[in-house]
Structure 1
Amino acid sequence: MTGTADPGGALPAPCSGPSVWRGGDLADHEEWTLRLSPHHLAELDTALCEARGRDLTLLKLTAADFPLPTLAGELKSIAGTLEHGRGFAVVKGLPAEQLGGPAASAVFWGLGQHVGRPVAQNADGHMLGHVRDTGRSLADPATRGYQTRAALPFHTDGADLLALLCLRAPRTGGRTSLVSAAAVHNAVLSMRPDLAERMYRPYCFDRRQEQPPEEPPCTAAPLAARLPGGALSMRYNRCYLESAQRFPQVPRLEPADLELFDLIDEVAGSPQFRLDIDLQVGDLLLLNTHTIMHAREEFEDHDQPELKRHLLRLWLTLPHRPRTDGARGGVTPLDVIRPRNTASQAETNPRRLPT
Structure 2
Amino acid sequence: MVSPVPDDSPSVWTRADFPDESVWSFELSTTDRQALIDHGRAGADLGRRIGAHAAQWAELLHDGPGFVRLRNFPIDELTEQQIAHAYRGLGALLGTPVGQDRDGNIITHIRDERIPAGPTVRKYRTNLPQDFHSDGSDLVGLLCLRPAKTGGASRIASAHAIFNEMLRRDPHLLDVMYAPMPWSRNGEEGPGEQPYFELPPIIDIGGVPRIFFIAWYIRDSQQHSSAPRLTDEQLAALALVETIANDPLFHIEMDFRPGDVQLLNNTTVLHAREGYLDDDDPSLRRHLLRLWLTAHTPLANELLRGGIPTPGAG
Give TM-score scaled by structure 1 length: 0.81
Match of 1:77 among 43, 51, 56: 56
Q: Tell me which residue corresponds to 2:22.
A: 30
Change (3 A) 1:160 1:276: same
- Bigger Rg, which one: 1
Aligned residues: 308
1:89-128 alignment to 2 at 5 Å? 89-128=68-107
Tell me by how many angstroms 1:323 deviates: 4.8
Q: Tell me which residue corresponds to 1:13.
A: 4
Write the distance in 1 (CA, Å) between the matches of 2:64 and 2:223: 38
1:101-180 alignment to 2 at 5 Å? 101-138=80-117, 140-180=118-158
Q: Tell me which residue corresponds to 2:202.
A: 224
Q: Tell me which residue corresponds to 2:167.
A: 189
Contact map agreement 1:12 1:197 (CA 8 A) in 2: no
Tell me by how many angstroms 1:327 deviates: 4.2
Write the distance in 2 (CA, Å) between the matches of 1:210 and 1:154: 21
Write the distance in 1 (CA, Å) between the matches of 2:212 and 2:51: 30
Write the distance in 2 (CA, Å) between the matches of 1:43 and 1:124: 30
Higher mean alpha-carbon deviation, 205-214 vs 169-178, is at 205-214
Q: Tell me which residue corresponds to 1:256.
A: 233
Q: Secondary structure at the match of 1:96?
A: coil
Write the distance in 2 (CA, Å) between the matches of 1:325 and 1:254: 25
Tell me by how many angstroms 1:215 deviates: 2.8
Structure 1 unaligned spans of 5+: 6-10, 52-64, 333-355
Q: Secondary structure at the match of 2:106?
A: coil
For the aligned residue pairs, the C-alpha RMSD in angstroms reads 1.9
Q: Percent identity?
A: 33
Tell me by how many angstroms 1:255 deviates: 0.8
Q: Tell me which residue corresponds to 1:206.
A: 184
Write the distance in 1 (CA, Å) between the matches of 2:19 and 2:284: 29
Q: Which digits, 9 at most, give the CA deviation of each residue in 1:37-57, with x for residues without a partner?
A: 111112222223332xxxxxx
Change (3 A) 1:273 1:198: same
Tell me by how many angstroms 1:268 deviates: 0.1
Q: Which digits, 9 at most, give the CA deviation of each residue in 1:70-103, with x for residues without a partner?
A: 3122212322321222111111111213324222
Structure 2 unaligned spans of 5+: 310-314
1:276-355 alignment to 2 at 5 Å? 276-318=253-295, 321=298, 323=300, 325-328=302-305, 330=307
Change (3 A) 1:76 1:93: same
Give TM-score scaled by structure 2 length: 0.92
Write the distance in 2 (CA, Å) between the matches of 1:322 and 1:173: 33
Contact map agreement 1:123 1:331 (CA 8 A) in 2: no
